[in-house]
Amino acid sequence: MKTPQLAVRLGRSLLRITGALAAVFGLLLAAILVHTTMPGSSYRGALPAASADQQTLAQELRRHVNTIAAQEHNVRHPAALEAAANYLESELASYGYQVRRQEFQALGVKVRNLEVTVPSQSTPGQRVIVVGAHYDSAHETPGANDNATGAAAVLALAKSLKPLGATAQSDVMLVLYTNEEPPYFKTSLMGSHVHAKALKTRGVPVTAMLSLETMGYFSDVAGSQKYPWPLNQFYPTQGDFIAFVATPGDLGLVRKVVRSFRSHVVFPSEGIAAPRRIPGVDYSDHAAYLDEGYPALMVTDTAPYRYPHYHTRQDTPDKVDFDRLARVVQGLEGVVRDLAQQP
């Protein structure tokens, strides 16, 4: 009698353990799905022929990237960094902006962030949307994709959004940062850290920050896209999409941004709200704004998880897909307009 009773008890215990594990797994799966499932659906299939506007934008982006990424430009090469900053500042001024310099010292070199603002004519200063990208390159690389593409996108958005103030309910601040790359990444001399901290000190009410980071490399080859585990179970294996990356606290923001992007352009897109401990989630300038308590996310082609020339001498303009980059920038223009015009 004892042996059958023991077997029954063991069986019941195993069932309870199995049930508990299944429940935990189910909750984990549900949590992952909540933070990886975005509104609408990502576009799949061949892209339509580029419109005339997209072709023109692609040529503008190419010109910007070719100029910014003509050579390595960082504090180790101050003349080249200054040349890149001068080009960016000149372009912004040519669009009719008053460019604000935020200057500071790094390794005895005077460096600067560049900032312009499209003020809301109805509610200036009440809410601010920040769109930014770093323009310095990593050591021993010209930095075409990382991150002349992001800087070029900021220029294009600054140009197209100039008239937005007439209908905007938020100010739109466009910023170009220095010193994102090592050895300054996540230090007090990182350009976005300097900028975000100054905004917080002044009490600027930032409602959203979009960091444009490494956005121009795409591949239709299966297996070209990598992920940190377990994200590989939930996303495509081909690197043909643009990613919107936030933290769990900004799930609402990333869902809003992805929904808007998908409504404005035909292009593959994915979104996620993941903890900062997952490698890559906070690998850009949005991290500085998160540290100050501002809502922020990154727009990226996923950089080292896709781009084979990341932080190498081969990160040159010929690696950038300007046709696809133009479509992404066009979608981002729609996103910023939607965010800025919300009451």
Q: How many whole angstroms separate alpha carbon 73 and alpha carbon 186? A: 19
Is residue 24 in a domain? no
Q: Give the sign of the dihedral formed by CA 244, CA 246, CA 251, CA 254.
A: negative
Distances (CA, A) of 235 to 2, 216, 256: 52, 19, 19
Q: What is the 3-state secondary structure (H, E, C) of 112-143?
A: EEEEEEECCCCCCCCCEEEEEEECCCCCCCCC
In this structure, the number of other CB atoms found within 10 A of the CB of residue 275 comes to: 11
- 290, 118 Cβ separation under 8 angstroms: no
Q: How many whole angstroms separate alpha carbon 71 and alpha carbon 209? A: 29
Is residue 25 in a domain? no
Q: How many whole angstroms separate alpha carbon 226 and alpha carbon 247? A: 19
pTM of the model: 0.91
Is residue 99 in a domain? yes
Query: How many distinct structural domains can be found in the chain?
Result: 1
- 330, 265 Cβ separation under 8 angstroms: yes
Is residue 9 in a domain? no
CA atoms within 13 A on the CB side of 39: 13
Is residue 21 in a domain? no
- Each of the 343 residues of the chain gets a pLDDT tens digit; together they read 456 666 666 556 666 666 555 554 444 444 575 578 899 999 999 999 999 999 999 999 999 999 999 999 999 999 999 999 999 999 999 999 999 999 999 989 999 999 999 999 999 999 999 999 999 999 999 999 999 999 999 999 999 999 999 999 999 999 999 999 999 999 999 999 999 999 999 999 999 999 999 999 999 999 999 998 878 888 999 999 999 999 999 999 999 999 999 999 999 999 999 999 999 999 999 999 999 999 999 999 999 999 999 999 999 999 999 999 999 999 999 999 999 999 8
* CATH code at position 106: 3.40.630.10
Question: Structural domain of residue 263, as residue ranges?
Answer: 37-341
Q: How many whole angstroms separate alpha carbon 236 and alpha carbon 218? A: 13
Is residue 22 in a domain? no
Is residue 26 in a domain? no
Is residue 217 in a domain? yes
